[in-house]
Structure 1
Amino acid sequence: MARIDNAPRALLALLMVFTLAACAGTYPAQRVNSAKTVLMGLTQEDVRMCAGFPTRQHEDSEAGVSIWNYELRNQAGGVNLSAPLWVANTNLSISGGGSCQAQFRFVDGVLDRLAYAGDNDGPGGRDTLCAPIVDGCLSYVVEETGR
């Protein structure tokens, strides 16, 4: 019987694991960045359909500008370590939570700008805590327009 060498298979499996891990780490960052361009041109009705009703909104009817604010608070637990030392107590706190505020600006009812604010950077990169706010709209665009 011929012996099958498992080394190439193991190497391929390891390479696939590292590739998937890299994709998992950057995917939310890619979504929040692509939303800034892909969602442009959606109407207010489209955004209400894909993101729901805004938390707050500001209207400047004379200029034809509306700014809708969506908020998301991530209450994930963090780490709090405390250790007594000879001289003083030492505390280390690492917050696992954060918040995102996504501002959608409409001019004459059409989305022309999307910006993020808040303590919204996560392990996956900048603004990644905002991904849940825009995910529904990114799916909506794909379903409705095929972009």
Structure 2
Amino acid sequence: MRYRSLALAAVGLLAVAGCATSPDADQAALAQRVLVGMPKQTLLSCAGVPTRQTSVDNVEYFTYSSDSLQTRMGPSYWGGFGGGPWHRGYWGGADWGSTEVSARNCNATFTLKNGVVQQLVYGSSTDSPAGRLSQCYAIVQNCLPLVPQQPGPAASAAGGVGSRAR
């Protein structure tokens, strides 16, 4: 029974770890909300010239692309069971000769109407949601400092930053 409880706890920890996001991913998700309302000229100044742009019925679409390769060194394990007359049982070991390479990409499409951002949508073929959003952050990171600070939940509940009880 004890091993079953430990196995369930391990599965639970892996599930929680799989949902973890990076600060870059959190900021990219935030950008989808806070960049709405940004003027076209400000977007062009902070994100640069779009990779692609088109216009349909007074609505403009600016698409920015970001690609990267992530390289990670990791352990490689080897071993097996068996042996001969002098050695029986498990044999093996590990070394740091393994290299893992993964590609990340993001396409961020801004929809603008009347010269103002209406929507920001991300598209990607990157497997993990956190990896996808982390790559999208590379596109919006220079624009986020230009957005007026949003009050957090604690500040809103308290009546805003610097508010006094009257």
Common fold by TM > 0.5: yes
Q: Tell me the residue number matched to 1:129.
A: 135
Deviation, structure 1 residue 27: 0.9
Secondary structure at 1:77 match in 2: strand
Alpha-carbon separation, structure 1, partners of 2:127 and 2:136: 9
Alpha-carbon separation, structure 2, partners of 1:36 and 1:71: 16
Deviation, structure 1 residue 137: 0.6
- State whether structure 2 residue 33 is matched by structure 1 residue 37: yes
Q: Tell me the residue number matched to 2:104.
A: 98
Given that 1:120 and 1:128 are in contact with CA atoms closer than 8 Å, whether structure 2 keeps it comes out as: no
Given that 1:102 and 1:130 are in contact with CA atoms closer than 8 Å, whether structure 2 keeps it comes out as: yes
Q: Tell me the residue number matched to 1:65.
A: 59
Q: Tell me the residue number matched to 2:23.
A: 27
Alpha-carbon separation, structure 1, partners of 2:146 and 2:131: 24
**Bigger Cα Rg:** 2
- Cα displacement string for residues 38-58 of structure 1 (whole angstroms, at most 9, x for unaligned residues): 111011101001101101101
Alpha-carbon separation, structure 2, partners of 1:120 and 1:52: 23
Alpha-carbon separation, structure 1, partners of 2:117 and 2:129: 29
Q: 1:111 aligns with which of 80, 93, 117?
A: 117
Deviation, structure 1 residue 126: 4.9
Given that 2:104 and 2:131 are in contact with CA atoms closer than 8 Å, whether structure 1 keeps it comes out as: no
Q: Which runs of 5+ in 1 are unaligned?
A: 1-23, 84-92
Give TM-score, length-normalised by structure 1: 0.63
Alpha-carbon separation, structure 2, partners of 1:69 and 1:102: 5
- Cα displacement string for residues 50-74 of structure 1 (whole angstroms, at most 9, x for unaligned residues): 10110110112xx210000000111
Alpha-carbon separation, structure 1, partners of 2:41 and 2:67: 24
Given that 1:121 and 1:127 are in contact with CA atoms closer than 8 Å, whether structure 2 keeps it comes out as: no
Q: Tell me the residue number matched to 1:14.
A: none
Deviation, structure 1 residue 122: 5.0
Q: Tell me the residue number matched to 2:50.
A: 54
RMSD value over aligned CA atoms?
Answer: 3.1
Identity over aligned pairs, percent: 30
Instruction: Work out the number of aligned pairs and report it.
Output: 112
Q: Which runs of 5+ in 2 are unaligned?
A: 1-19, 79-98, 151-166
Q: Tell me the residue number matched to 2:146.
A: 140
More strand by share: 2
